[in-house]
Amino acid sequence: MNRRYFLYSFSFTAAAIIIGGCEKESGNNKAVEKLNESQKLPSKLSNTETAELFKPFTQELKIPDEINFGTIAKAKFNAQKSLVDIYKDKKTEVLTFQGELPNPTIRIKKGDNFALDFTNSLEKPTIIHWHGIIVPEEMDGHPKDAIDTQITKEYKYKINQKSGTFWYHSHPHGRTGEEIYYGLSGLYIVEDDDEKKLNLPSGEFELPLIIQDRRFDKKANLIYKEIASDNNGVLGDIVLVNSTPFPYKNVKNTKYRLRILNASSARTYRLAFEGIESFALIGTDGGLLEEPIIVKDIVIAVAERIDIVIDFKDKKIGETVTLKTLGFKEASNFKTNQKYPSLGDTMDIMTFNITQLSTNNSANLPRKLSHILKTKESDASKVRTITMEVIGGGIWTLNKKPYDMNRIDDRVKLGSTEIWEIKNTIHMAHPFHIHGVQFQILDRTRDIDFPTDKGWKDTVLVMPVETVRIIIKFTMPGLFVYHCHILEHEDHAMMANFLVE
């Protein structure tokens, strides 16, 4: 008896694709369906092994320290082994950049210079990548630039894009999954004046939520891959938010801005709040949307970020709101490790306890958040097709070729605009990511409405046997990669090099 979370391993209504509802659009959208009542039931945590470790929702959400480039000129990261207390009174061996988890959040303003000395104190070569930030090739953290142990690399670049929520993580070839799993990643926030003027919730009312499902043994040690099917993607039963297992956060009854990053290995979440009907999506990978979209739940794949505003104003002191995943079994029917909840399972993630009345009567959300200039299809000078395929009975590939660091797979003209058709031939969804750009989504062949498709993206979830068309303008010269962001797929060859020249 080692399946857990079975209490609500409900079955979905016949083949219906149930995803983020969007009130505004619901009139013209066939795919948006109301959740039926049983799917709204709370899940119960029934994890026998880890029950010995701790009680869920008893540890307070950790908030990462911030490195603010408005006040410091240069930062220092040192990839190292560290012992940290993920569970109260227990030590877990992890990897960190500064000795603690969560790693610090980087905060920087558009136009400012980023400078950081990165030392590798691990036993193997590694490198840091600034996911979503458009930087010169030498600064991007391409796996070819991994530095040896005891070497220091200086990162220096200027922030030249609009505000948004990004991610930094290590990126050595073949070991990205393991290194991120053990800790090497953090949040990266870019601010700008346009966003400042909007008066979005800030300070204590702005919370970063880095979501990662993990596996632990009874002694609080992390466990990574256990069996062959883990190569399809490592799924865990303990959800960490900011390196805190199933945390709680005390809040006031007002608006909060949540910057959510899915930094898991393989799990796609369909996030909803038990106790709050709907919330506003205000931003995606590359920054703010044009206007808020009201949703009841939202799908977030690995590497995607969502910026949302949730309002606790109708809640009374003593009430609790639970952030959970409703499960997203549409993402895959692949075999996964049976010991852990599958993609379709419901899991509670964290609770918000309303403990104080708010004196700050938060302003209404602005109707207009930003302007997104649509890239015209007629601007595209080339259409490129990228197929996602499994070859040789178990190698994840793009265009049937396992990644080779020394092969240039695509050449793109600097300054040009292209349409990429990402064609998924596999019965499993893959979050497709491109370095060095932010792109727009033109359309997808499956009848699905992801509200995040409307914003700037650097990662797009391509559903099973689906083709997604995206449009990209290439503004940064150099050699970059594109890859699947399920970390076990990325490490096992689902990646390619492209040269912008």
Residues that bind ligand C2O (CB under 6 A): 129, 131, 169, 171, 303, 433, 435, 481, 483, 485
Q: CB of residue 483 vs ligand C2O: minimum separation in angstroms?
A: 6
State which residue, 298 or 301, has the beta carbon closest to Cu ion: 301
Distance CA 186, CA 168 (A): 5
Tell which positions 340-359 bind Cu ion, by CB under 5 A: none
User: Among 22, 461, 484, 493, which residue sits at the site for Cu ion (rule: CB under 5 A)?
Assistant: 484
For 303, 388, 435, 461, 468, the CA distances from 432, given in Å and listed in that order, are: 9, 9, 10, 6, 10
- The angle subtended at Cα 24 by Cα 36 and Cα 275, nearest 5°, is 45
Compute the residue count for the chain. Answer: 501
Partner from ligand C2O, Cu ion, none contacting 169, C-beta within 5 to 8 A by type = ligand C2O
In angstroms, the Cα distances linking 379 to 375, 376, 382, 472 are 7, 5, 9, 10
Of 19 and 437, the one with the shorter C-beta distance to ligand C2O is 437
Report the alpha-carbon distance of residue 468 to residue 449 in Å, rounded: 12
Q: Show the binding pattern over residues 125-164: x = contacts Cu ion (CB under 5 A), - = does not.
A: ------x---------------------------------
> Three-state DSSP class for 427?
coil
Least distance (Å) between residue 180 CB and ligand C2O: 9
Cis peptide before 477 (omega within 30 of 0): no
Q: Does 267 help bind Cu ion (rule: CB under 5 A)?
A: no
Query: Considering CB distances under 5 to 8 angstroms, the limit depending on partner class, which of ligand C2O, Cu ion, none binds residue 486?
Result: Cu ion
Q: How far is the CB of 413 from Cu ion (least distance, A)?
A: 21
**311 or 458, CB closer to ligand C2O?**
458
Calculate the CA 75 to chain-centre distance. Answer: 24
Could you tell me the smallest distance in angstroms from the CB atom of residue 434 to ligand C2O? 9
Contact map string, positions 403 to 442, toward Cu ion, x by CB under 5 A: ---------------------------x----x-------
Q: Name the residue with tokens 């990511």.
A: 433
Nearer to Cu ion, 57 or 328 (CB): 328
Binding partner of 321, given Cu ion, ligand C2O, none, CB within 5-8 angstroms per partner class: none
Cα distance between residue 463 and residue 475, in whole Å: 28
The C-alpha atoms of residue 400 and residue 395 are separated, in whole angstroms, by 9
3 state SS of 330: helix
- Compute the chain's Rg from CA coordinates: 21
Residues binding Cu ion: what is the number (CB under 5 A)? 6
CB-nearer residue toward Cu ion: 94 or 486:
486
Closest distance to Cu ion from the beta carbon of 489 (Å): 3
Q: Considering CB distances under 5 to 8 angstroms, the limit depending on partner class, which of Cu ion, ligand C2O, none binds residue 430?
A: Cu ion
CB of residue 410 to ligand C2O, shortest distance in Å: 15
Nearer to ligand C2O, 105 or 342 (CB): 105
- How distant, in Å, are the alpha carbons of 182, 217, 229 from that of 226? 15, 12, 8
How far apart CA 110 and CA 251 sit, in angstroms, is 30
Which residue minimizes CB distance to ligand C2O?
Answer: 131
Closest CB to ligand C2O among residues 131, 454: 131
What sign does the CA torsion over 339, 342, 345, 351 have? positive
Residues that bind Cu ion in the complex, under the rule CB under 5 A:
131, 430, 435, 484, 486, 489
